Structure 1
Amino acid sequence: MVADFTYYTPTKVVFGKNAEAETGSLVKMQGCKKVLVHYGSESARKSGLLGKITTSLRNEGIDFVELGGVVPNPRLSKVHEGIELCRKEGVDFILAVGGGSVIDSAKGIGYGLYHGGEVWDFYSQKRPIEGCFPIGCVLTLAAAGSEMSNSSVITNEDGNLKRGANNDASRLKFAIMNPELTYTLPAYQTMCGAVDIMMHTMERYFINEPSMHLTDELAEGLLRTVVHYAKVLKKNPMDYDGRANLMWASSLSHNGLTGAGNAGRGDWAPHQLEHEMGGMFDVAHGAGLSAIWDSWARFVFDQNPERFARLGEKVFSLSRTADVESDALKAIETFHDFFVSIDAPTNFKELGINPTEAEIEEMSEKCTFFGKRTLGNIKVLGKEEIKTIYTNAARA
């Protein structure tokens, strides 16, 4: 039976060539007077993008202050810096210029400004989230889907803890998406983004409870699209249609659409497993996901082989047989081969890490929030199961 659901997507999307020229007018519609322009590396300035954005703000009479330096796996210290700067400057709107890391950092700043006190409390689940300062973005990377999600993930350097906070208050007021802004991304970063998009979709797909047929079809179609255009972009990074489809897929994969009507939030174990890998080794998120997915899938598939087999049939047109477990394993193998084809790592060695037994033990302990939770839906994972998946990924 289809589950009841609430689908909430308040973010205004402005999509297309030169969309960033509308930044000033979109901020002005929010009634805000001073903006924090939050970004990552200086490439945003060297490319001329920051100049276009600040010119657009000036043309609308909007004051602004800048804060760059956000890194992949965004740091709590940068969130603290942003909160302090915004309070000092009287900022009332945050504009993220970048990908998921910059948007997540902006959401952390927004939480801290709204509530006061230690912002990490919301990521460590010590305090409930009650609101967030308004945020918009100019997206430069198709990957995390933060531009339309209620999610934010921050890494606390004290203990290398990577934790998420989810609340609808952080959903962006607007998201500006110009696919051309992703032309100059390194190939590896583009493919890591493709993996992240796929994982956001599959996390919602892998459930043991009933699902809505239409939602399954949307998820499968999105995955087929990403598989197709990842291959297109590997050959031609300047393909506009490829960039546009990946950018829109990023948003739809994580705004709730591909889980609507499904009974259950989804699995999310691969994401939680990767969070500890990212916290300890500072790996690229998408690369970490592909590096752990094969080991996770092979460990859990026997709990619902039909779900894996269907995905292989729908996404890669694999033929079905009378042996559903064999079909499921074929699907897992085909996903593995696809990741290889786009140069995404499929184990720890390919990811460039070699965790010791002690490090695997530490990641496994942290993954359970020090014994306070289990992971997964297809198969519930405790500390020992988590250790096995990490170990298998290390030995592959």
Structure 2
Amino acid sequence: MQNFSYWNPSRIIFGKGTMSEVGKETAKWGRKVLFHFGGGSIKKNGVFDAVTASLKDAGLQIVYLGGVVPNPHLSLVREGIALCKKEHVDFVLAVGGGSVIDSAKAIAFGAKLPASQDVWNDYYMKADYTIAEALPLGVVLTIPAAGSESSTGSVITDAEHGLKRAVNSETLISKFAVMDPQTNYSLPAYQTACGASDILAHLQERYFTTVEHNDLSDRLLEACMRNVITNAPLALQYPDEYRYRAELMWTGTIAHNNLLDRGRVGDWATHDIEHELSALYDIAHGAGLAILFPAWMRYVHKVDIDRFVQYATRVWNVDLPLSDKEGIVEEAILRLQAFYKRIGMPTTLADAGIPEDKLRFMAENAFVGERTYLGNFQKLYVGDVEKIYRLAL
């Protein structure tokens, strides 16, 4: 286990009826709020009205900015930054899922940048300067998936140039996150499944490490993975059952608040490789991860096959002779793919209608910016990434 520092100040307000607390929490940090959201779903399920009422009851001024799409666009971020500066907004409230939260984070720190400095530099160029300050941010989470509600990360897509990139900074951790699992009841089945896939991927990215002696976090990650595997199909079968939604929602937060990767180094190559899929083909992030994770596993597992055997036996209950390590690993990958299929995820590029003509282009595009390799479990270069795409065909 490596040395580590852990700090996460985000207040989690979890449970039924908690949206009424949004105004009170927001008032601790600001008086004029950018209410940032996606499309019409929060208006149909009552979240928009409930949050608006809570903010107004607290005496707060509201500036609305909707229109966030999956794989949130840099163009809307820039629009939000200009709006915050024009309206002298002092707090950003993200109401929605990971895309809304990631967009809100970009707006929050972009609003503090001088006019000469573009927000995209942090995402694309990975410049030497760090994110020194941001407007305070709050979250009303309606889609368990990305874990962005209390994470350090934000992912934005430059649709014009077909690039999707991430930043990470403690400055971007939310001040609070209100999480009522009842808001998930109206989610389409596909969106629920994509969210479950995303949560599982965050756990797997952390699990596959070459750092030894992390028994506690190994066990916690395994428990969270098993929780997703158990509860995602139940949430799909019984969409209005609170307990299944609550299990997924809380697991999604724990999966990505950086607690479970302390003392170890996660991989994250699959996320970077998937970003090229969703940037170019606008596929849902969770769906892209379901396609690519089995391919990545098949490509890299020999680096530390014993870690994959541990994953197979503890997470998937694979019970084959230990002398057949390759067979154990392959069985685990097949069970992972069967899980994805059970919840309605694609498991190949063909399933998602993605052709093979741009595999090399995507592999090369993954290294645009200040990148020399992807991943930590095994360092991957352009040729490796192309081979992983081909394994996913």
- Aligned partners of 1:12, 1:57: CA distance in 2, in Å? 18
2:73 is matched with 75
1:148 is matched with 150
Secondary structure (helix, strand or coil) at the match of 2:209 reads coil
Question: 1:293-372 residue pairs with structure 2 within 5 A?
Answer: 293-321=293-321, 322-356=323-357, 359-369=358-368, 372=371
2:86 is matched with 88
The CA deviation at 1:377 is 2.2
Secondary structure (helix, strand or coil) at the match of 2:148 reads coil
- Residues 210-253 of structure 1: CA distance to partner in whole angstroms, max 9, x if unpaired? 14111100000000000000121121111111100100011000
Contact map agreement 1:306 1:328 (CA 8 A) in 2? no
1:160 is matched with 162
The CA deviation at 1:111 is 1.4
Aligned length: 388
- Note the residue ranges of structure 1 that are not aligned, 5 or more in a row: none
Question: 1:165-180 residue pairs with structure 2 within 5 A?
Answer: 165-180=167-182
TM-score, scaled to structure 1: 0.96
2:25 corresponds to which letter in structure 1?
L
2:214 is matched with 212
Contact map agreement 2:45 2:186 (CA 8 A) in 1? no
Find out whether 1:268 has 2:268 as its counterpart: yes
- Aligned partners of 1:253, 1:380: CA distance in 2, in Å? 23
Cα distance change, pair 370–109 in 1 and its aligned pair in 2 (3 A): closer
1:13 is matched with 12
- Aligned partners of 1:100, 1:363: CA distance in 2, in Å? 24
The CA deviation at 1:36 is 0.3
Contact map agreement 1:312 1:334 (CA 8 A) in 2? no
The CA deviation at 1:372 is 3.5
Equivalent residue for 2:137, pick from 135, 138, 147 = 135
Secondary structure (helix, strand or coil) at the match of 2:156 reads strand
Equivalent residue for 1:224, pick from 226, 232, 242 = 226
Find out whether 1:29 has 2:28 as its counterpart: yes
Contact map agreement 1:308 1:332 (CA 8 A) in 2? no
The CA deviation at 1:315 is 1.3
Greater CA drift, 121-130 or 142-151:
121-130
- Aligned partners of 1:105, 1:216: CA distance in 2, in Å? 32
- Aligned partners of 2:369, 2:136: CA distance in 1, in Å? 34
The CA deviation at 1:371 is 8.1
- Aligned partners of 1:371, 1:110: CA distance in 2, in Å? 24
- Aligned partners of 2:369, 2:390: CA distance in 1, in Å? 19
The CA deviation at 1:392 is 2.1
Secondary structure (helix, strand or coil) at the match of 1:258 reads coil
Secondary structure (helix, strand or coil) at the match of 2:166 reads strand
TM-score, scaled to structure 2: 0.96
2:199 is matched with 197
- Aligned partners of 1:207, 1:191: CA distance in 2, in Å? 26
1:381 is matched with 380
Compute the RMSD of aligned alpha carbons.
1.2
